[in-house]
């Protein structure tokens, strides 16, 4: 594939991704806005893939190595931290209405 | 692994990311969505690992271990109240990684014969510029929320003009690079300038607006990552980065809308800066404030038919969500109808309060969003404001000179009585005087939110 063809293809999926991004979150309720911000934060952790390519495929001496290594460290922190924080937030949204009823009635008896 | 095979596998990753965002539209399967996204991320990392063919595998492993280890520990240890600054931190490092990729790519292609292609050059400049702004801006946002530096806006004369000149200089450097001046130092200067701009552009923004800024910087990092995808001719970076760029922009606009302010106003408004003058005026002619004892308030609550709690950041800081739930349960056992009114921007991020209350096992159906809650206040006996301030400030409805005029608020003053739990008469996070406190319907219960709630629990139990 020539560079021009590839570029047109890349721009195409870029534009489609813009619309998809708008579309897919337009239905997210306010109460999930914080996890949403955190979840998208984890997704852009995909930058670690770019960092790995720089570190893994760059054979251009110590400069590339150091930059690539730093990028991998930062990118990995983004990925792992992002997903773990989001998971911790969403863990709290578990379905719990039935359990809660029991909880409340027990408290009621106690009081 | 061939180019085609790896791209097909990357497509799986892209699909999981889209599903992850899609599943976030309901609390029931949001968590599964996020886990699916994590699986997609693992696939992408494994594919990329194989692609690199084992070159410097130990460096890759070490880097991932260091970064991933830090991320895991920090994310596990952080308290729920400190989530916003954690998101800022992880967002910043992502932006930093994108900027570093730009540096490395320019370094790689410069020795090649001929001029770098214009689109690759532009992508390098964009990811360097936006990534560096996002990195530095997020670090300042982190420092502000962590209270390492002052949360209040920091302003000085010529600030906007200075920032504009700096940004212009960065763009000019970028244009020079794209036009074909082949010098790595241009990109270093560009990145340094952009980082400085990132710091200067977040400094004047007040702490209360920080969530909007983090959301905006989140979108920035997405864009920087997408640009990185163009440099490396990598689909998964382009699509995932742009997904975040687009959804982050949309989310930022929704957050601005919830506060009835444009994004430009958030960024350039230096919100909450006029406070001292305003506070002085209000203190002069403010009228009387009634304060009550915990016992009095306990009686009010126990004999009410309907009580609405209005939680704010004060509740989060005091870690009082569990005690509030205990008080609510106790009141319910006495036959009081209890609900919670959640303002869209209560706390420091939209949905922040929902997360905290969910942590304390508050059942969903009791959480009312603003419009529902405002319908209920007129038939509410007691509205209990726990550490909230600006989101219940009637000035937003009536006082055109107030900086928050026009922001939709919770109309707690429609209730028969209002109890405000507050540490002192200091103005809130945004630093704006609140006439609600001087309303004859209002009684103040001063003290730490947690201690006050515990006293109320004891008071109600003793009845």
pLDDT at B229 over 70: yes
Interchain CB distance below 8 Å, B104 and A67? yes
**Residue A111 vs residue B316, higher pLDDT:** B316
Which two structure tokens, joined as six digits, stand for B246? Answer: 């687009």
Alpha-carbon span B75 to B54, nearest angstrom: 30
Confidence of residue A111 (pLDDT cuts 50, 70, 90): very low
Confidence of residue B269 (pLDDT cuts 50, 70, 90): low
Partners of residue B310 on adjacent β-strands? B385
Confidence of residue B424 (pLDDT cuts 50, 70, 90): confident
Partners of residue B309 on adjacent β-strands? B340, B384
C-alpha separations of B154 from B93, B200, B203, B204, B290 in Å: 24, 9, 6, 4, 34
Q: Which of A97-111, B39-53, B110-124, B251-265 comes out lowest in average pLDDT? A: A97-111
- Quick one: pLDDT at residue A94? 63
pLDDT at B291 over 90: no
**Residue B45 vs residue B334, higher pLDDT:** B45
Confidence of residue B196 (pLDDT cuts 50, 70, 90): very high
pLDDT (tens digit, 9 = 90+) per residue, B369-399?
Answer: 888 889 889 999 999 999 888 888 888 888 8
User: Stretch A52-79: mean pLDDT, rounded?
Assistant: 89
Substitution target in A9, A18, A32, A45 with the highest count of B β-carbons within 10 Å is: A45
- Quick one: pLDDT at residue B270? 57
Active site residue B390: yes
B113: three-class secondary structure by DSSP: coil
- Quick one: pLDDT at residue B282? 43
Range among A23-32, B327-336, B397-406, B441-450 rated most confident: B327-336
Alpha-carbon span B327 to B334, nearest angstrom: 11
User: Stretch B418-433: mean pLDDT, rounded?
Assistant: 74
pTM: 0.77
Nearest CA in chain A to B50: A56
B2: three-class secondary structure by DSSP: coil
A109: three-class secondary structure by DSSP: helix
Whether the CB of B324 is below 8 Å from some CB of chain A: the reply is no
Element (H, E) at B339: strand B337-342
- Quick one: pLDDT at residue A64? 85
B418: three-class secondary structure by DSSP: strand
- Quick one: pLDDT at residue B348? 66
**Residue A74 vs residue B149, higher pLDDT:** A74
pLDDT at B87 over 50: yes
- Quick one: pLDDT at residue B197? 94
User: Stretch A63-87: mean pLDDT, rounded?
Assistant: 94
Q: How far is CA B146 from the centre of its chain?
A: 13
pLDDT at B35 over 90: yes
In this complex, which of B247, B351, B361 lies closest to A34 when CB atoms are compared?
B351
CB contacts of B80 in chain A (<8 Å) are 88-89, 92
Confidence of residue B401 (pLDDT cuts 50, 70, 90): confident
- Quick one: pLDDT at residue B369? 85
Q: Percentage of chain B with pLDDT > 90?
A: 42
With CA atoms as reference, report the closest residue to B133 among B213, B19, B210.
Answer: B213
The CB density around residue B1, as the number of other CB atoms within 10 Å, is 13
B28: three-class secondary structure by DSSP: helix
Whether the CB of B298 is below 8 Å from some CB of chain A: the reply is no
Query: What spatial distance separates the first Cα and last Cα of chain A, rounded to whole Å?
Result: 74
pLDDT (tens digit, 9 = 90+) per residue, B271-287?
Answer: 544 444 444 444 444 45
Whether the CB of B365 is below 8 Å from some CB of chain A: the reply is yes
Interchain CB distance below 8 Å, A55 and B63? yes
Beta carbon pairs, A and B, within 8 Å: 391
Architecture of domain B276-462: 3-Layer(aba) Sandwich (3.40)
CB contacts of B30 in chain A (<8 Å) are 32, 35, 90, 93
CB contacts of A100 in chain B (<8 Å) are 361, 363
CB contacts of B238 in chain A (<8 Å) are 10, 13-14, 17
**Residue B286 vs residue B342, higher pLDDT:** B342
Confidence of residue B242 (pLDDT cuts 50, 70, 90): very high
Q: Percentage of chain B with pLDDT > 70?
A: 92
Alpha-carbon span B432 to B277, nearest angstrom: 10
- Quick one: pLDDT at residue B396? 84
Substitution target in B75, B195, B232 with the highest count of A β-carbons within 10 Å is: B75
**Residue B415 vs residue A98, higher pLDDT:** B415
Exposure on the CB side of residue A103, measured as CA atoms within 13 A: 13
- Quick one: pLDDT at residue B3? 82
C-alpha separations of B78 from A109, B70, B146 in Å: 35, 12, 11
In this complex, which of A25, A29, A91 lies closest to B250 when CB atoms are compared?
A25
Interchain CB distance below 8 Å, B71 and A81? yes
Which residues neighbour B163 within 8 Å (Cβ) at sequence distance 6 or greater?
A: B197, B200, B201
């Amino acid at each position: 594939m020539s560079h021009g063809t590839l570029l047109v293809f890349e721009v195409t999926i870029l534009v489609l991704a813009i619309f998809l991004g708008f579309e897919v979150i337009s239905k997210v309720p306010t109460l999930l806005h914080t996890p949403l911000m955190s979840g998208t934060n984890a997704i852009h952790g995909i930058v670690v893939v770019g960092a790995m390519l720089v570190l893994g495929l760059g054979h251009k001496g110590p400069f590339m190595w150091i930059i690539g290594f730093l990028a991998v460290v930062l990118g990995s922190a983004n990925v792992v931290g992002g997903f773990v924080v989001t998971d911790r937030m969403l863990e709290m949204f578990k379905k719990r209405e039935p359990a809660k009823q029991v909880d409340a009635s027990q408290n009621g008896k106690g009081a | 692994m061939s180019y085609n095979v790896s791209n097909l596998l990357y497509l799986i990753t892209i699909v999981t990311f889209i599903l992850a965002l899609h599943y976030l539209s309901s609390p029931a399967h949001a968590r599964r969505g996020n886990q699916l996204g994590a699986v997609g991320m693992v696939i992408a990392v494994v594919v990329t690992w194989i692609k690199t063919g084992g070159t410097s595998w130990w460096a890759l492993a070490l880097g991932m271990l260091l970064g991933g280890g830090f991320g895991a520990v920090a994310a596990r240890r952080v308290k729920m109240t400190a989530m916003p600054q954690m998101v800022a931190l992880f967002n910043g490092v992502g932006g930093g990684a994108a900027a570093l990729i730009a540096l490395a790519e320019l370094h790689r292609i410069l020795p090649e014969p001929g001029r770098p292609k214009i689109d690759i050059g532009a992508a390098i400049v964009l990811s360097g510029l936006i990534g560096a702004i996002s990195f530095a801006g997020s670090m300042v946002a982190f420092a502000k929320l962590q209270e390492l530096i002052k949360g209040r806006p920091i302003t000085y004369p010529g600030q906007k003009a200075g920032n504009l000149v700096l940004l212009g200089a960065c763009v000019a450097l970028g244009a020079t690079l794209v036009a074909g001046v082949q010098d790595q130092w241009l990109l270093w200067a560009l990145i340094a300038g952009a980082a400085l701009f990132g710091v200067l552009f977040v400094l004047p923004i007040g702490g209360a607006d920080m969530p909007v800024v983090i959301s905006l910087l989140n979108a920035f990092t997405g864009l920087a990552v997408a640009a990185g995808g163009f440099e490396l001719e990598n689909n998964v970076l382009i699509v995932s980065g742009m997904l975040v760029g687009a959804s982050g922009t949309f989310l930022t606009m929704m957050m601005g809308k919830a506060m009835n302010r444009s994004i430009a106003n958030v960024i350039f408004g230096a919100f909450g800066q006029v406070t001292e003058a305003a506070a002085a005026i209000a203190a002069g002619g403010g009228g009387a404030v009634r304060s009550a004892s915990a016992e009095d308030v306990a009686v009010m609550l126990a004999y009410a038919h309907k009580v609405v709690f209005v939680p704010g950041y004060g509740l989060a800081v005091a870690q009082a969500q569990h005690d509030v739930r205990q008080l609510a349960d106790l009141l319910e056992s006495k036959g009081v109808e209890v609900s919670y009114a959640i303002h869209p921007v209560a706390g420091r991020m939209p949905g922040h309060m929902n997360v905290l209350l969910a942590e304390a096992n508050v059942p969903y159906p009791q959480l009312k969003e603003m419009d529902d809650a405002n319908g209920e206040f007129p038939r509410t006996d007691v509205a209990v404001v726990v550490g909230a301030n600006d989101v219940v400030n009637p000035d937003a409805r009536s006082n055109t000179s107030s900086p928050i005029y026009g922001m939709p608020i919770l109309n707690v003053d429609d209730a028969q009585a209002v109890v405000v739990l507050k540490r002192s008469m200091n103005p809130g996070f945004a630093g704006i005087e609140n006439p609600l406190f001087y309303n004859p319907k209002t009684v103040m219960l001063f003290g730490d939110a947690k201690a006050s709630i515990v006293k109320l629990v004891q008071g109600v139990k003793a009845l």
